Structure 1
Amino acid sequence: MASDRFQRRTDELDGIIGESVALREVIEIVQKVAPTNSAVMLRGESGTGKEVFANAIHALSPRSKKPFVALNCAALSSGVLESELFGHEKGAFTGAVSERAGRFELADGGTLLLDEIGEITPDFQSKLLRVIQEGEFERMGGIKTRKVNVRLICATNKHLEEAVMNGSFRSDLYYRINVITVALPPLRDRAGDIPLLAKHLLGKFNKENDSDRNFNPDALDLLSKCPFPGNVRELENCVRRTATLAQENKIMPSDFACAKDQCFSSRLWKGANPAPHFDIVTNGDPAAFESPGEKNRIVEYGRLMTALKKAGGNQAKASRILGKTTRQISYAVRQHGINLNEL
C-alpha cells in the first residue's frame, strides 16, 4: 500500500508522528505532491514542523538522492539574501575573499526550501521570480548565467494574500510559489497525537542522554490537555525540560512546570484573551464545568468551533479530529449553545 510505504518512510524523519485525522489528511496530500515537480507552499503556525514536512516531500520524491537545502529568509536584507541564494564571485563586495556557491546551486537537481518566504523584501522578489520562471541567474558580481533545476518549496506563517492585496508581495510571485498549498494543523487540532509525540520526543532525549525516562499515564493525560501555542517545538521543550529535572525515571504530573505554576508559555494563550474554555475530557459530566478556574481546563471554545467547521458540523468527524468521543463533543456543543445548522 502507498500509505504503508509513506508511513515507513516518514517514520524515519524526526517529527512526523501521529494518527489523528488532521495529520493523516496532510500525509495524503504529501503523498500525492511528492512525486511531482509542482511548487509547494507549506502554511502553518510556528512550530508545526514545516521543515520536517518539506524534508518528507523531498525524501518521497524522485529527487531524494539529490540535495535538500533550506534557508530561513526572515530578517535577511536583500543583499544578504541575494548572496545566500545566488552566491557571489570573489571581490563582489567587501569581505568576499573567495567565490561562493549559493543555495540554488547547492540544491541543483534536488529541493530548496525557502522558509518565512513572506519576509523577503519587494525589491528582491523580482530577482527570485526570474530564477523560478527561467531557472537561471547570475552570482553577485558575476556575468556568467547559471542554470539550475530545483524543486521549490516555500513556507510561511503569514497571510500572503493580505500582503498581495496591500502591495508588499508581488502577485505574480505569489501564484508561482503557491501552486500546491499544504496547511499544517496546529497541535491543538491534533491533541490525540500528543502522547505519541511525547513518547517519541522522550525517546530521543533518552538516546541522547543515555537515560531511561518514561511517562506515568497521568503525565501523558496532562500533556494532552495543554494547548501548546508553540506547537510541536514547545512540546519538545516541555518534554526535554521535564525529563532533565525529573527526580525519578518515571515522569509524574507533578514534574511538569505547569503543576508548579512555572509554565510561562501559558501566558501566550491566556494573555491572548481566548474564547471561553471548555473541557471535553469530562465524559459528559456537567459538574466538571462548574469551576472556571479548574486546572487543566484549557481546551478553548475556538478549538471546538474549528473542528466543527472543518467537519461540516458533523460531531462524529469533529470528535475524530480532536481525538475525543462523540458524546464529549455533543455535551460541549450543548454547553456552549452552538447551533450546528449555522456552521
Structure 2
Amino acid sequence: MTERRQVNIAKSARTTVFYIFVIGIAAIILLPVYFIISLSFLSTREAYTYPLPLVPALNTHFELRHGERGYLLSVYDRVEGGYESVLDTKDSKKMSEYMRYQLATPVTTEDLEQQFAKLESQDVVRFSRRRNLLENYQSFFRVSGYKAVPALIRSLQICALTIAISLSVGGMAGYAFARYTFRGKNLLKFSTLFVRMFPGVAIAIPMIKILVGLQFYDRPIGLSLVYSIGNIALTVWITASIFMGIPESLEEAAQVFGATKARAFLRITLPLALPGLAAAAMYSFLGAWNETVSAIILTQFNPTFSVIVYQTVLGAVGQVNLAAAGGMAMALPTVIFTFFIRRYIQQMWGGITI
C-alpha cells in the first residue's frame, strides 16, 4: 500500500510539474499579446503611468476649479486614488483638444463652457465622460492620412497574388517531386531552399533593375514576384510532403474507372491536399503581409500597408499607445485570414484521413 501511494504521489507530482510548465509557456506567449492589446486602448496619459493599468478605463472623471491662468483641470488617477492636476487654461478649445488627444475622452467646447459657468456658484465642479476606446486607432488612420486604406487594399492584392504564384508554381513542383522519379531529384529539391538563405533586402536591390525593365516597379505584381521567390521553396517542401502522404493508388483506381490523370488529380488528390495547401497559403500570406524592408525599397508612390504602419509608428515618437494600435491594425488581417483557414490547418496537424 505504501509503494502504491508513492507511485501515485510521483504521478501527481509529474502531472503538476507538467501543467505548471504548460501554464508558464502559455503565459509567456499570451501576456505580451494581452499587453499590446491593452496598450492599444489606453489613453496617452494612461500609457505613461506607473504601474501600467491592466485594463483601460471606461470613463474619465474630471475636476474643475479656478486656477492661476484660468480653469484648473484635474483628472482622477486610479493608481493614486485621487485627482491630479493636468492643465491650467481658460481656453475651452485647448482643454477640449487635450481631453481628446491625451485622455481619449471627447468633450465639446459647449459642454466645457457649461461646466465653467457652474464655477461661478461653486468652488469645485466634478463630472465624468465616457472614453472613446477606439481613439488610438482613429488617430493612427488620421495620422497616416488618405494613404492607409489604399495601402491596405494594395497589400491584400499583393498577398493574393503571392499566394496564387506560390501555390501554382510550388504546388506543381511539389507534386512532381512526390510522384515522379528522376536523376538529381533530391539535390534539386534541396536546392530550392538556397533562395531562402539570402535576406529579402539582398534580393530586392538587384530586383529593382529587373522590375523597372518589366515595368513592374512600384506595382503589386512586382512585389508579389519578389515575395514569391522565397515562398515557392517553402511551398515545394510542404506540398511534396502532403502529396507523398496521399497513396498514388487512389489516382490509379480513378483512372481505372475512366478518369483522366488530370481529372483524378483534381477530384481525388487535390481535395486531400487542401490542408497542406492551406498551410502553404498561410505562410505565403504572413511573409507577404509582414515584409517591410523590401517594400520600402521596391515602392515609391504606392506603399504597402506595412510601410504605412512603419512610417506612422516612426513618426509617433513618445506615443507607445499609438504604436500599439498600429501593430494591432497590422496583425488583425493575419488573424482573420488564419481564422478562415484554421479548419484545413487542423486537418493537417491531425493527419489526412482516408
The interval holding the TM-score normalised by the smaller chain is under 0.3
Structure showing greater Rg:
2
Normalized per residue, the structure richer in helix is 2
TM-score (ref. length: structure 2): 0.22
